[in-house]
Structure 1
Amino acid sequence: MSDAHLILVSHHLCPYVQRAAIALAEKGVPFERRTIDLSAKPDWFLAISPLGKVPLLVVNQADGTQAVLFESAVICEYLEETQPGSPLHPADPLKRAQHRGWMEFGSSILSDLWGFETARDAAAYEAKRSALIDKFRRVEAELGAGPFFAGETFSLVDAVFAPIFRYFDVFDTIASTGIFDGLSRTAQWRAALTERRSVREAVGGDYGDRLRTFLKHHDAWLLKLSA
Protein backbone atom coordinates (compact mmCIF):
# COMPACT_ATOMS: atom_id res chain seq x y z
CA MET A 1 0.00 0.00 0.00
CA SER A 2 1.23 3.50 -0.85
CA ASP A 3 2.41 6.01 1.73
CA ALA A 4 0.09 8.73 0.35
CA HIS A 5 -1.89 10.35 3.16
CA LEU A 6 -5.27 9.39 1.64
CA ILE A 7 -5.85 6.36 -0.59
CA LEU A 8 -9.26 5.76 -2.15
CA VAL A 9 -9.78 2.07 -2.91
CA SER A 10 -12.07 1.99 -5.92
CA HIS A 11 -13.87 0.13 -8.68
CA HIS A 12 -14.34 1.48 -12.21
CA LEU A 13 -18.17 1.59 -12.11
CA CYS A 14 -19.08 1.93 -8.44
CA PRO A 15 -21.29 4.99 -7.85
CA TYR A 16 -20.42 4.99 -4.14
CA VAL A 17 -16.74 5.34 -4.99
CA GLN A 18 -17.63 8.27 -7.22
CA ARG A 19 -19.25 10.07 -4.26
CA ALA A 20 -15.99 9.96 -2.34
CA ALA A 21 -13.90 10.91 -5.37
CA ILE A 22 -16.15 13.93 -6.02
CA ALA A 23 -15.96 15.02 -2.38
CA LEU A 24 -12.16 14.75 -2.42
CA ALA A 25 -11.96 16.79 -5.62
CA GLU A 26 -14.35 19.44 -4.32
CA LYS A 27 -12.21 19.76 -1.20
CA GLY A 28 -9.09 20.06 -3.33
CA VAL A 29 -7.43 17.28 -1.35
CA PRO A 30 -4.64 15.24 -3.00
CA PHE A 31 -5.23 11.50 -2.87
CA GLU A 32 -4.18 8.29 -4.53
CA ARG A 33 -6.72 6.06 -6.21
CA ARG A 34 -6.27 2.29 -6.18
CA THR A 35 -8.72 0.39 -8.36
CA ILE A 36 -9.49 -3.29 -7.79
CA ASP A 37 -11.43 -6.00 -9.60
CA LEU A 38 -14.42 -6.90 -7.43
CA SER A 39 -14.77 -10.25 -9.21
CA ALA A 40 -11.28 -11.20 -8.00
CA LYS A 41 -10.83 -9.34 -4.73
CA PRO A 42 -7.20 -9.28 -3.61
CA ASP A 43 -6.31 -10.67 -0.21
CA TRP A 44 -5.01 -7.32 1.05
CA PHE A 45 -8.40 -5.78 0.27
CA LEU A 46 -10.40 -8.51 2.01
CA ALA A 47 -8.15 -8.12 5.05
CA ILE A 48 -9.07 -4.45 5.51
CA SER A 49 -12.63 -4.29 4.16
CA PRO A 50 -15.15 -5.59 6.74
CA LEU A 51 -17.93 -5.80 4.14
CA GLY A 52 -15.78 -6.75 1.17
CA LYS A 53 -17.01 -3.65 -0.66
CA VAL A 54 -15.67 -0.38 -2.02
CA PRO A 55 -15.05 2.42 -1.38
CA LEU A 56 -12.45 2.30 1.31
CA LEU A 57 -10.48 5.33 2.42
CA VAL A 58 -7.08 4.41 3.83
CA VAL A 59 -5.72 7.16 6.06
CA ASN A 60 -1.97 7.05 6.64
CA GLN A 61 -1.41 8.80 9.96
CA ALA A 62 1.53 10.81 11.21
CA ASP A 63 2.58 8.09 13.68
CA GLY A 64 2.95 5.56 10.86
CA THR A 65 -0.29 3.70 11.51
CA GLN A 66 -3.14 3.26 9.06
CA ALA A 67 -6.85 3.75 9.62
CA VAL A 68 -9.42 2.35 7.19
CA LEU A 69 -12.84 3.90 6.68
CA PHE A 70 -15.62 2.05 4.86
CA GLU A 71 -19.05 3.11 3.58
CA SER A 72 -19.24 6.14 1.30
CA ALA A 73 -21.40 8.27 3.62
CA VAL A 74 -18.92 7.79 6.46
CA ILE A 75 -16.01 8.68 4.18
CA CYS A 76 -17.73 11.82 2.90
CA GLU A 77 -18.61 12.94 6.43
CA TYR A 78 -15.00 12.40 7.54
CA LEU A 79 -13.71 14.48 4.65
CA GLU A 80 -16.18 17.24 5.47
CA GLU A 81 -15.09 17.29 9.10
CA THR A 82 -11.33 17.07 8.61
CA GLN A 83 -10.36 18.58 5.27
CA PRO A 84 -10.07 22.22 4.17
CA GLY A 85 -11.89 23.62 1.18
CA SER A 86 -15.47 24.67 0.59
CA PRO A 87 -18.06 23.22 2.99
CA LEU A 88 -20.16 20.46 1.43
CA HIS A 89 -22.83 20.47 4.15
CA PRO A 90 -25.05 23.36 5.27
CA ALA A 91 -24.01 25.05 8.52
CA ASP A 92 -27.56 24.96 9.90
CA PRO A 93 -28.15 21.66 11.80
CA LEU A 94 -31.71 21.24 10.50
CA LYS A 95 -30.71 21.76 6.87
CA ARG A 96 -27.71 19.50 7.36
CA ALA A 97 -29.97 16.74 8.67
CA GLN A 98 -32.30 17.25 5.70
CA HIS A 99 -29.37 16.91 3.33
CA ARG A 100 -28.34 13.68 4.99
CA GLY A 101 -31.88 12.42 4.46
CA TRP A 102 -31.70 13.20 0.74
CA MET A 103 -28.35 11.44 0.54
CA GLU A 104 -30.09 8.33 1.87
CA PHE A 105 -32.86 8.87 -0.65
CA GLY A 106 -30.20 8.86 -3.35
CA SER A 107 -29.01 5.49 -2.05
CA SER A 108 -32.55 4.14 -2.34
CA ILE A 109 -32.60 5.30 -5.97
CA LEU A 110 -29.38 3.38 -6.58
CA SER A 111 -31.07 0.26 -5.22
CA ASP A 112 -33.88 0.61 -7.77
CA LEU A 113 -31.35 1.51 -10.44
CA TRP A 114 -29.54 -1.78 -9.91
CA GLY A 115 -32.78 -3.66 -10.56
CA PHE A 116 -33.48 -1.45 -13.57
CA GLU A 117 -30.15 -2.02 -15.28
CA THR A 118 -30.04 -5.75 -14.56
CA ALA A 119 -33.69 -6.45 -15.48
CA ARG A 120 -33.87 -9.26 -18.04
CA ASP A 121 -37.52 -9.02 -19.01
CA ALA A 122 -40.10 -6.34 -19.73
CA ALA A 123 -42.03 -6.80 -16.46
CA ALA A 124 -38.99 -6.35 -14.22
CA TYR A 125 -37.78 -3.44 -16.31
CA GLU A 126 -41.14 -1.64 -16.14
CA ALA A 127 -41.48 -2.21 -12.40
CA LYS A 128 -38.13 -0.57 -11.69
CA ARG A 129 -38.73 2.14 -14.28
CA SER A 130 -41.97 3.07 -12.50
CA ALA A 131 -40.20 3.09 -9.13
CA LEU A 132 -37.53 5.43 -10.49
CA ILE A 133 -40.11 7.75 -12.02
CA ASP A 134 -41.90 8.01 -8.67
CA LYS A 135 -38.70 8.80 -6.83
CA PHE A 136 -37.50 11.39 -9.30
CA ARG A 137 -40.89 13.09 -9.09
CA ARG A 138 -40.22 13.52 -5.38
CA VAL A 139 -36.80 14.93 -6.19
CA GLU A 140 -38.36 17.34 -8.70
CA ALA A 141 -40.71 18.67 -6.03
CA GLU A 142 -37.79 19.37 -3.70
CA LEU A 143 -35.60 21.26 -6.16
CA GLY A 144 -35.50 25.04 -6.40
CA ALA A 145 -33.95 27.35 -8.94
CA GLY A 146 -30.64 25.50 -8.94
CA PRO A 147 -28.23 24.98 -10.46
CA PHE A 148 -27.51 22.53 -7.63
CA PHE A 149 -29.64 20.78 -5.04
CA ALA A 150 -29.35 23.64 -2.56
CA GLY A 151 -29.12 26.46 -5.07
CA GLU A 152 -25.76 28.02 -5.89
CA THR A 153 -23.75 25.86 -3.46
CA PHE A 154 -22.47 22.41 -4.40
CA SER A 155 -23.12 19.92 -1.60
CA LEU A 156 -22.74 16.26 -0.71
CA VAL A 157 -26.27 15.70 -2.02
CA ASP A 158 -24.94 16.71 -5.44
CA ALA A 159 -22.04 14.28 -4.99
CA VAL A 160 -24.58 11.51 -4.33
CA PHE A 161 -26.82 12.24 -7.30
CA ALA A 162 -24.13 12.95 -9.91
CA PRO A 163 -23.19 9.24 -10.28
CA ILE A 164 -26.90 8.39 -10.60
CA PHE A 165 -27.33 10.78 -13.51
CA ARG A 166 -24.12 9.46 -15.10
CA TYR A 167 -25.81 6.09 -15.60
CA PHE A 168 -28.47 7.78 -17.70
CA ASP A 169 -25.88 9.58 -19.80
CA VAL A 170 -25.00 6.10 -21.04
CA PHE A 171 -28.53 4.66 -21.01
CA ASP A 172 -29.74 7.53 -23.21
CA THR A 173 -27.31 6.44 -25.93
CA ILE A 174 -28.98 3.02 -25.96
CA ALA A 175 -32.72 3.71 -25.66
CA SER A 176 -35.12 6.30 -24.28
CA THR A 177 -36.22 5.42 -20.75
CA GLY A 178 -38.69 8.30 -20.30
CA ILE A 179 -37.78 8.52 -16.62
CA PHE A 180 -37.12 12.27 -16.66
CA ASP A 181 -39.98 13.27 -18.96
CA GLY A 182 -41.63 16.43 -17.64
CA LEU A 183 -39.07 16.90 -14.85
CA SER A 184 -37.52 20.17 -15.98
CA ARG A 185 -35.76 21.09 -12.74
CA THR A 186 -34.26 17.63 -12.44
CA ALA A 187 -33.06 17.86 -16.03
CA GLN A 188 -31.39 21.21 -15.33
CA TRP A 189 -29.76 19.83 -12.20
CA ARG A 190 -28.52 16.82 -14.12
CA ALA A 191 -27.01 19.07 -16.80
CA ALA A 192 -25.24 21.25 -14.23
CA LEU A 193 -23.71 18.23 -12.52
CA THR A 194 -22.56 16.76 -15.82
CA GLU A 195 -20.53 19.92 -16.45
CA ARG A 196 -18.89 19.94 -13.01
CA ARG A 197 -15.17 19.12 -13.21
CA SER A 198 -15.17 17.02 -10.05
CA VAL A 199 -18.01 14.94 -11.49
CA ARG A 200 -16.42 14.49 -14.92
CA GLU A 201 -13.12 13.36 -13.44
CA ALA A 202 -14.63 10.92 -10.92
CA VAL A 203 -14.54 8.14 -13.53
CA GLY A 204 -12.18 7.05 -16.27
CA GLY A 205 -12.65 7.81 -19.94
CA ASP A 206 -13.76 4.22 -20.55
CA TYR A 207 -16.69 4.39 -18.12
CA GLY A 208 -19.33 4.21 -20.87
CA ASP A 209 -17.74 1.17 -22.51
CA ARG A 210 -17.42 -0.58 -19.18
CA LEU A 211 -21.08 0.07 -18.33
CA ARG A 212 -22.22 -1.26 -21.71
CA THR A 213 -20.13 -4.39 -21.12
CA PHE A 214 -21.82 -4.75 -17.72
CA LEU A 215 -25.25 -4.51 -19.36
CA LYS A 216 -24.33 -7.17 -21.93
CA HIS A 217 -23.03 -9.46 -19.19
CA HIS A 218 -26.38 -9.18 -17.38
CA ASP A 219 -28.41 -9.61 -20.60
CA ALA A 220 -30.12 -6.31 -19.77
CA TRP A 221 -33.59 -5.70 -21.16
CA LEU A 222 -32.54 -2.12 -21.86
CA LEU A 223 -30.25 -3.36 -24.62
CA LYS A 224 -33.13 -5.17 -26.29
CA LEU A 225 -35.05 -1.88 -26.56
CA SER A 226 -32.40 -0.58 -28.97
CA ALA A 227 -32.77 -3.53 -31.34
Structure 2
Amino acid sequence: MSPSLKLISHTLCPYVQRAVIALTEKGVAFERIDIDLANKPEWFLKLSPLGKVPVLLVPTPQGEVALFESNVICEYIEDTQGGARLHPEDALARAQHRAWMEFGSAILGDLWGLETTQDAAVFAAKREALAAKFARVEAALGEGPYFAGRSFSLVDAVFAPIFRYFDVFDTYGDLGIFVSTPKVRAWRDRLAQRPSVITAVSNDYPQLLRTFLMRHDAYLLKQAA
Protein backbone atom coordinates (compact mmCIF):
# COMPACT_ATOMS: atom_id res chain seq x y z
CA MET A 1 0.00 0.00 0.00
CA SER A 2 1.40 3.41 -0.96
CA PRO A 3 1.66 6.19 1.67
CA SER A 4 -1.49 8.30 1.95
CA LEU A 5 0.34 11.56 2.64
CA LYS A 6 2.36 13.24 -0.10
CA LEU A 7 4.98 15.91 0.58
CA ILE A 8 5.89 18.22 -2.29
CA SER A 9 9.52 19.07 -1.75
CA HIS A 10 12.79 20.55 -2.96
CA THR A 11 16.14 18.93 -2.24
CA LEU A 12 17.70 21.94 -0.46
CA CYS A 13 14.68 23.52 1.21
CA PRO A 14 15.09 23.81 5.01
CA TYR A 15 11.35 24.29 5.44
CA VAL A 16 10.71 20.94 3.79
CA GLN A 17 13.19 19.35 6.19
CA ARG A 18 11.05 20.50 9.14
CA ALA A 19 8.08 18.55 7.82
CA VAL A 20 10.19 15.51 6.94
CA ILE A 21 11.68 15.43 10.44
CA ALA A 22 8.24 15.75 12.07
CA LEU A 23 6.78 12.97 9.93
CA THR A 24 9.77 10.73 10.63
CA GLU A 25 9.63 11.37 14.38
CA LYS A 26 5.96 10.38 14.31
CA GLY A 27 6.70 7.24 12.30
CA VAL A 28 4.37 8.31 9.48
CA ALA A 29 4.80 6.87 6.00
CA PHE A 30 4.71 9.48 3.25
CA GLU A 31 5.65 9.96 -0.37
CA ARG A 32 8.18 12.71 -1.08
CA ILE A 33 7.91 14.39 -4.47
CA ASP A 34 10.81 16.70 -5.35
CA ILE A 35 10.25 19.50 -7.85
CA ASP A 36 12.49 22.09 -9.51
CA LEU A 37 11.67 25.46 -8.00
CA ALA A 38 13.37 27.18 -10.93
CA ASN A 39 10.87 25.51 -13.25
CA LYS A 40 7.72 24.99 -11.21
CA PRO A 41 5.20 22.63 -12.81
CA GLU A 42 1.71 23.96 -13.44
CA TRP A 43 0.10 21.30 -11.24
CA PHE A 44 2.23 22.51 -8.33
CA LEU A 45 1.30 26.18 -8.85
CA LYS A 46 -2.35 25.18 -8.66
CA LEU A 47 -1.71 23.60 -5.25
CA SER A 48 0.57 26.21 -3.67
CA PRO A 49 -0.86 29.76 -3.52
CA LEU A 50 2.60 31.19 -2.79
CA GLY A 51 4.48 28.90 -5.14
CA LYS A 52 6.59 27.60 -2.26
CA VAL A 53 7.41 24.22 -0.75
CA PRO A 54 6.61 22.29 1.31
CA VAL A 55 3.07 21.36 0.41
CA LEU A 56 1.44 18.41 2.18
CA LEU A 57 -1.31 16.62 0.28
CA VAL A 58 -3.80 15.10 2.70
CA PRO A 59 -6.42 12.61 1.43
CA THR A 60 -10.05 13.23 2.35
CA PRO A 61 -13.32 11.67 1.12
CA GLN A 62 -13.73 14.74 -1.09
CA GLY A 63 -10.23 14.47 -2.55
CA GLU A 64 -6.77 15.66 -1.61
CA VAL A 65 -6.39 18.84 0.42
CA ALA A 66 -3.20 20.86 0.03
CA LEU A 67 -1.63 22.32 3.18
CA PHE A 68 1.09 24.93 2.72
CA GLU A 69 3.52 26.73 5.08
CA SER A 70 5.91 24.50 7.00
CA ASN A 71 4.85 25.42 10.54
CA VAL A 72 1.20 24.83 9.66
CA ILE A 73 2.13 21.43 8.24
CA CYS A 74 4.14 20.55 11.36
CA GLU A 75 1.25 21.56 13.60
CA TYR A 76 -1.15 19.42 11.57
CA ILE A 77 1.20 16.44 11.85
CA GLU A 78 1.38 16.96 15.62
CA ASP A 79 -2.41 17.26 15.94
CA THR A 80 -3.35 14.26 13.80
CA GLN A 81 -0.60 11.67 14.10
CA GLY A 82 0.31 9.37 16.95
CA GLY A 83 3.74 8.73 18.33
CA ALA A 84 5.80 10.94 20.61
CA ARG A 85 4.47 14.42 21.30
CA LEU A 86 6.45 17.15 19.59
CA HIS A 87 4.78 20.04 21.41
CA PRO A 88 4.46 20.64 25.18
CA GLU A 89 1.07 19.90 26.69
CA ASP A 90 1.07 23.15 28.67
CA ALA A 91 -0.55 25.94 26.65
CA LEU A 92 1.96 28.62 27.66
CA ALA A 93 4.96 26.40 26.95
CA ARG A 94 3.40 25.43 23.62
CA ALA A 95 2.99 29.10 22.69
CA GLN A 96 6.62 29.74 23.62
CA HIS A 97 7.72 26.90 21.38
CA ARG A 98 5.70 28.34 18.49
CA ALA A 99 7.39 31.69 19.04
CA TRP A 100 10.84 30.08 18.84
CA MET A 101 9.80 28.30 15.67
CA GLU A 102 9.10 31.72 14.19
CA PHE A 103 12.45 32.93 15.48
CA GLY A 104 14.03 30.06 13.56
CA SER A 105 12.35 31.33 10.41
CA ALA A 106 13.87 34.78 11.04
CA ILE A 107 17.30 33.15 11.30
CA LEU A 108 16.71 31.49 7.94
CA GLY A 109 16.04 34.93 6.47
CA ASP A 110 19.49 36.10 7.53
CA LEU A 111 21.02 32.83 6.35
CA TRP A 112 19.58 33.37 2.89
CA GLY A 113 21.36 36.70 2.70
CA LEU A 114 24.60 35.21 4.01
CA GLU A 115 24.70 32.43 1.44
CA THR A 116 23.59 34.37 -1.64
CA THR A 117 25.24 37.78 -1.34
CA GLN A 118 28.31 38.70 -3.35
CA ASP A 119 28.87 41.83 -1.27
CA ALA A 120 31.37 41.86 1.61
CA ALA A 121 29.45 44.46 3.62
CA VAL A 122 26.16 42.58 3.35
CA PHE A 123 27.93 39.36 4.28
CA ALA A 124 29.43 40.98 7.39
CA ALA A 125 26.05 42.42 8.41
CA LYS A 126 24.30 39.08 8.03
CA ARG A 127 27.04 37.32 9.99
CA GLU A 128 26.64 39.81 12.84
CA ALA A 129 22.85 39.45 12.73
CA LEU A 130 23.14 35.67 12.95
CA ALA A 131 25.60 35.84 15.85
CA ALA A 132 23.20 38.14 17.71
CA LYS A 133 20.24 35.85 17.09
CA PHE A 134 22.10 32.75 18.24
CA ALA A 135 23.12 34.65 21.38
CA ARG A 136 19.40 35.04 22.11
CA VAL A 137 18.93 31.30 21.52
CA GLU A 138 21.84 30.58 23.87
CA ALA A 139 20.07 32.51 26.64
CA ALA A 140 16.88 30.50 26.11
CA LEU A 141 18.48 27.04 26.20
CA GLY A 142 18.50 24.91 29.34
CA GLU A 143 20.63 21.89 30.12
CA GLY A 144 19.70 20.08 26.91
CA PRO A 145 20.29 17.92 25.11
CA TYR A 146 17.36 19.36 23.14
CA PHE A 147 15.60 22.72 23.19
CA ALA A 148 13.16 21.65 25.88
CA GLY A 149 15.47 19.31 27.75
CA ARG A 150 15.27 15.57 27.16
CA SER A 151 12.27 15.69 24.80
CA PHE A 152 12.70 16.29 21.06
CA SER A 153 10.24 18.95 19.88
CA LEU A 154 9.15 20.88 16.82
CA VAL A 155 11.61 23.62 17.80
CA ASP A 156 14.36 21.04 17.30
CA ALA A 157 12.85 20.14 13.92
CA VAL A 158 13.05 23.82 12.93
CA PHE A 159 16.63 24.41 14.05
CA ALA A 160 18.19 21.18 12.77
CA PRO A 161 18.02 22.30 9.10
CA ILE A 162 19.52 25.65 10.12
CA PHE A 163 22.54 24.00 11.70
CA ARG A 164 22.93 21.72 8.65
CA TYR A 165 23.86 24.77 6.55
CA PHE A 166 26.85 25.40 8.79
CA ASP A 167 28.15 21.86 8.29
CA VAL A 168 28.89 22.99 4.72
CA PHE A 169 29.76 26.62 5.53
CA ASP A 170 32.39 25.46 8.02
CA THR A 171 34.33 23.75 5.24
CA TYR A 172 35.07 27.22 3.82
CA GLY A 173 36.23 28.73 7.10
CA ASP A 174 35.08 29.49 10.64
CA LEU A 175 32.51 32.28 10.53
CA GLY A 176 32.79 32.79 14.30
CA ILE A 177 29.02 32.75 14.76
CA PHE A 178 29.00 30.14 17.55
CA VAL A 179 32.15 31.22 19.41
CA SER A 180 30.24 32.50 22.45
CA THR A 181 27.37 30.00 22.43
CA PRO A 182 28.49 26.69 23.97
CA LYS A 183 24.93 25.50 24.61
CA VAL A 184 24.01 26.15 20.99
CA ARG A 185 27.10 24.24 19.84
CA ALA A 186 26.17 21.25 22.02
CA TRP A 187 22.58 21.38 20.75
CA ARG A 188 23.79 21.53 17.16
CA ASP A 189 26.02 18.49 17.70
CA ARG A 190 23.21 16.48 19.30
CA LEU A 191 20.72 17.29 16.54
CA ALA A 192 23.23 16.23 13.89
CA GLN A 193 23.16 12.72 15.41
CA ARG A 194 19.36 12.37 15.36
CA PRO A 195 18.25 9.76 12.78
CA SER A 196 15.26 11.86 11.66
CA VAL A 197 17.59 14.79 11.01
CA ILE A 198 20.19 12.72 9.18
CA THR A 199 17.63 11.20 6.81
CA ALA A 200 15.76 14.44 6.11
CA VAL A 201 18.06 15.13 3.15
CA SER A 202 19.70 13.04 0.46
CA ASN A 203 23.32 11.93 0.72
CA ASP A 204 24.35 14.46 -1.91
CA TYR A 205 22.95 17.45 0.03
CA PRO A 206 26.42 18.93 0.81
CA GLN A 207 27.42 18.89 -2.85
CA LEU A 208 24.06 20.31 -3.92
CA LEU A 209 24.50 23.19 -1.49
CA ARG A 210 28.06 23.83 -2.68
CA THR A 211 26.80 23.92 -6.25
CA PHE A 212 24.14 26.43 -5.20
CA LEU A 213 26.79 28.65 -3.60
CA MET A 214 28.99 28.50 -6.69
CA ARG A 215 26.07 29.32 -8.96
CA HIS A 216 25.42 32.46 -6.91
CA ASP A 217 29.15 33.31 -6.77
CA ALA A 218 28.58 33.66 -3.03
CA TYR A 219 30.97 35.81 -1.03
CA LEU A 220 30.99 32.96 1.48
CA LEU A 221 33.22 30.99 -0.90
CA LYS A 222 35.96 33.56 -0.45
CA GLN A 223 36.32 32.49 3.18
CA ALA A 224 38.34 29.53 1.95
CA ALA A 225 40.82 31.76 0.15
- TM above 0.5, yes or no, is yes
* Of 103, 112, 119, the match for 2:117: 119
Separation in structure 2 between the aligned mates of residue 94 and residue 18 of structure 1, nearest angstrom: 26
Question: 1:84-130, CA deviations, whole angstroms, 9 ceiling, x for partnerless residues?
Answer: 00000000000000000000000000000000111212111100000
Structure 2 counterpart of 1:58: 57
Q: Secondary structure at the match of 2:65?
A: strand
Counterpart amino acid of 2:196? S
User: Match for 2:38: what amino acid?
Assistant: S
Tell me how far 1:23 sits from its aligned partner: 0.2
1:77 aligns with 2:104: no
Stretches (4+) displaced over 6 A: none
User: CA offsets, 1:172-225, max 9 Å, x none?
Assistant: 111111100021100000000000000000000010001001101111111012
Partners of 2:205 and 2:140 in 1: CA distance = 30
Question: Structure 1 residue 93 and structure 2 residue 91: aligned?
Answer: yes
Report the TM-score, using the length of structure 2 for normalisation. Answer: 0.98
State the Cα RMSD in Å: 1.1
Please, what TM-score do these two structures have when normalized by structure 1? 0.97
Aligned pairs for 1:1-227 within 5 A? 4-61=3-60, 63=61, 65-227=63-225
Separation in 1, partners of 2:170, 2:65: 40
Unmatched tracts of structure 2, length 5 or more? none
Q: What do residues 54-91 of structure 1 show as CA deviations (whole Å, max 9, x unaligned)?
A: 00000122x26111100001000000000000000000
Preserved contact between residue 10 and residue 37 of structure 2 (Cα < 8 Å): yes
Across the two proteins, how many residue pairs are aligned to each other?
A: 225
List alignment gaps of at least 5 residues for structure 1.
Answer: none
CA distance in 2, matches of 1:185, 1:165: 13
**Partner AA of 1:103 in structure 2:** M
Aligned counterparts of 2:204 and 2:172: Cα–Cα separation in 1: 16
**In structure 2, what is the Cα distance between the partners aligned to 1:197 and 1:173?**
23
Q: Distance in 1 between matches of 2:181 and 2:101?
A: 20
User: What secondary structure does 2:134 align onto?
Assistant: helix
CA distance in 1, matches of 2:4, 2:50: 23
2:207 match: secondary structure: helix
2:37 and 2:220 map into 1 onto residues whose CA distance is 24
With 117-126 and 69-78 compared, the bigger mean Cα shift is at 117-126
Counterparts of 1:70 and 1:79, CA distance in 2:
12
State the SS of the aligned residue for 2:172: coil
Report if the CA contact (8 A) 2:135-2:180 is conserved.
no
